[in-house]
Amino acid sequence: MRFLAALLALYLIRPSLCAIYNSFAELPQNLTFDFVIVGGGTAGNVVANRLTENSSFSVLVLEAGPSPEGLINHTVPFFNIFLRSENPWDWNYTAVSQVGFNGRALHYPRGRILGGCSSMNGMEYLRGSSEDYDRYADVTQDPGWSWNGIQPYIRKNEHWTPPTDHHNITGQFNPAVHGFHGINSVSLAGFPSAIQNQVILTTQELAEEFPFNLDSNSGYQLGVGWEQSTIKHGKRSSSYTSYLGPEFIGRPNLHVLLNAQVTRLSQTASDPPEFLTVEFAESRDAPRLQVTASKEVIVSAGSLETPKLLLNSGIGNASDLAALGLETLVDLPDVGKNLSVMIMLNLAYFVNSTDTFDDVIRNVTRRDELLLQWTETGGAGLLGNGFGSHHIYTRILSNSTIFENSPDPAAGPNTAHIQSGTSNGNISPPPEGHFMSMSVTLNTPTSRGSILLNTTDGFDQPLIDFGALSTDFDIFALKEGIRSAQRFLGTRAWDGYILDSLNNITTSSTDAELEAFIHANSAPDGHIVATASMSPKAATHGVVDPDLRVKGTGKLRVVDGSILPFVPSANTQFAVYIVAERAADLIKAAW
């Protein structure tokens, strides 16, 4: 394995990291900053890149975590699943115990690393439906957030890249809806999945319920499409590898300070209140350091840490703040209050095959063989893929009884309530057996939760309450999602391949049994939003205006997933990249 380690070191380590500093002591003390960005995550690095295109703007990014440089579990796409448990690159959050989850208090993974969640996520690239963005435009009264409005930002973000195996991808995506000159790579899988033919056969056999969709990212998402991922030549493409890539990081006006956890913003002006001084520390017990921006502070700490930071800075619900002994500087009651997160289940089935990825997870010898192949071929083979093959977007029938009492929460009639993904294995396999799995995800959750302070120490975690499964609609929708997955897998295409369910449910399970299964097995996925929602400029509800300025303040914006008032009907990294691209333009226009 020493040979492998040496080979990996050559392949992974990037030569120059000039503007990335590991400690405050390394940061040249004579620098001044127009913009300070809190959080070098998915959104923060986009804003840093775009603002420093103008050489007259100087930018400092403060990131709590370290760099992913040389971290194999970051770079090898398939190994993303190893970054989800407690490890040094994770915030190590434990959520509040959830009634909807039978009292379970779950570990909730979140990247504490340069690139944020884009450095540890599943890399699935999904845009949702055009109606999702038209609804953002509607509820904010800003057409710039509409599907048409964001088209230029899709092109600026996306760099379509051929798959590593160079297979013919005609018929697997629609080039007309993609960007070929942007920054972040997107590609189809570079290694075939053993179940892909069964999936395509199912779209023919049950064409009405599961029609083939040439490209689920066209704005019309319903049906079954090939998985697209933020992967470049078999390696993860994150906001770190792309927006802070070698061609950008050498800019003399771009500075990134790692291991710098921001604990508070301190007020520098009133009427309107400004918060241009940022307080941070290198560890819980280290002295608090400060830096002051001359133009704006941009908070990009993500949907959990952004509301925590605003609250610790005296921006939030006055009675909640008073209860913790904090002075209210800006009375903004909705900070942290309207959390929305997608909820998912994983269904696994024993299969009549050993050609699945289960052994890569269970068998270290097998994993090392594939890692050697990935290294020697420059990213080819199974490890250069994510773990899914296709995405399936479906709607609950409009005549369903649930709609007698619950309004349809989807953004429109062509927006999916349920998203499923097919995988050639089980990401947490038991010691024996080979599997295929199908996820069932509620894309239109109606339950709302919150992020509240537990203590006023910026190094303590907030109280993360998903409010999970607190509405009839959410439970009903997941039940329908399970039934739909069972219909998908009940076709002739899977005859002789799928043998038995690993889970405790079957096609003849009753509604009550499915509900019990849902409460016992659901978990939130990483797509958490709305804790600092956008609302119309004059509105008193919400946290930021449509130009992402924090209401009632000056020179302070939030740019990250927390500003989305609803989850799009898709995983959220795409939406976050688009928010950040447009935000950078709005900020440039203001200065």
Ligand X SMILES: Cc1cc2nc3c(=O)[nH]c(=O)nc-3n(C[C@H](O)[C@H](O)[C@H](O)COP(=O)(O)OP(=O)(O)OC[C@H]3O[C@@H](n4cnc5c(N)ncnc54)[C@H](O)[C@@H]3O)c2cc1C
Q: With respect to ligand NAG, which residue has the nearer C-beta, 46 or 543?
A: 543
Sign of CA dihedral 1, 86, 576, 427: positive
| 222 binds ligand NAG, rule: CB under 6 A | no
Q: Which residue intervals of 330-445 are DSSP H helices? A: 358-362, 364-376
- Residues ≥6 apart with Cβ < 8 Å to 41: 63, 111, 115, 116, 117, 118, 239, 300, 301, 302, 560
| 68 binds ligand X, rule: CB under 6 A | no
Q: DSSP for 381-406, please give it.
A: SGGGS-S--EEEEE---TT-GGGGTS
Question: What percent of the chain is helix, strand and coil (3-state, nearest 5)?
Answer: 30, 20, 50
Beta bridge partners of 419: 393, 441
Pairing of strands 231-232, 235-236: antiparallel
CA angle 156, 161, 162 (to 5 degrees): 160
| 443 binds ligand X, rule: CB under 6 A | no
| 514 binds ligand X, rule: CB under 6 A | no
Token pair 């599907």 is found at 147
Q: With respect to ligand NAG, which residue has the nearer C-beta, 94 or 148?
A: 94
d(CA 136, CA 566): 8
Name the CA radius of gyration of the chain, rounded. Answer: 23
User: Is there a contact between 424 and 436 (Cβ–Cβ < 8 Å)?
Assistant: yes
- Applying CB under 6 A, the span of 63-71, 97-105, 174-182, 219-227 interacting with ligand X comes to 63-71
Q: How far is the CB of 439 from ligand NAG (least distance, A)?
A: 19
User: Is there a contact between 182 and 158 (Cβ–Cβ < 8 Å)?
Assistant: yes
Residue 526 interaction partner, one of ligand X, ligand NAG, none, beta carbon < 5-8 Å per kind: ligand X
| 40 binds ligand X, rule: CB under 6 A | yes
Ranges within 68-107 binding ligand NAG (CB under 6 A) = 72-73, 82, 86, 92, 94
| Residue 262 labeled ligand binder | yes
Residue 31 interaction partner, one of ligand X, ligand NAG, none, beta carbon < 5-8 Å per kind: ligand NAG
Q: With respect to ligand X, which residue has the nearer C-beta, 314 or 526?
A: 526
| Residue 561 labeled ligand binder | yes
d(CA 130, CA 549): 25
User: Is there a contact between 539 and 347 (Cβ–Cβ < 8 Å)?
Assistant: no
User: Is there a contact between 287 and 513 (Cβ–Cβ < 8 Å)?
Assistant: no
| 171 binds ligand NAG, rule: CB under 6 A | yes
d(CA 297, CA 17): 24
Ranges within 243-262 binding ligand X (CB under 6 A) = 261-262
| 381 binds ligand X, rule: CB under 6 A | no
Closest residue to ligand X using C-beta atoms: 41
- Applying CB under 6 A, the span of 204-212, 286-294, 363-371, 555-563 interacting with ligand NAG comes to 363-371
| 439 binds ligand X, rule: CB under 6 A | no
Q: With respect to ligand X, which residue has the nearer C-beta, 304 or 411?
A: 304
| 527 binds ligand X, rule: CB under 6 A | yes
Ranges within 312-371 binding ligand X (CB under 6 A) = none
Q: How far is the CB of 306 from ligand X (least distance, A)?
A: 7
Please state the φ and ψ torsions of residue 582, each to the nearest 5 degrees. Answer: -70, -40
Q: With respect to ligand X, which residue has the nearer C-beta, 177 or 516?
A: 177
d(CA 80, CA 237): 12
Q: How far is the CB of 496 from ligand NAG (least distance, A)?
A: 4
d(CA 413, CA 395): 9
- Applying CB under 6 A, the span of 127-135, 260-268, 313-321, 548-556 interacting with ligand NAG comes to 313-321
* Closest by Cα among 197, 203, 227 to 388: 227
- Applying CB under 6 A, the span of 3-11, 143-151, 282-290, 331-339 interacting with ligand NAG comes to 331-339
Ranges within 125-154 binding ligand X (CB under 6 A) = 126
Binding-site members for FAD are 262, 561
Q: Which residues bind ligand X (CB under 6 A)?
A: 38-44, 62-65, 84, 109-112, 116-118, 121-124, 126, 261-262, 300-303, 305, 309, 526-527, 560-561, 571-574, 576
Q: Which residues bind ligand NAG (CB under 6 A)?
A: 28, 30-31, 54, 56, 72-73, 82, 86, 92, 94, 168, 170-171, 317, 319-320, 333-334, 337-338, 352, 359, 363, 365-366, 369, 397, 399, 448, 454-455, 461, 463, 496, 499, 504, 533, 541-542, 565, 591
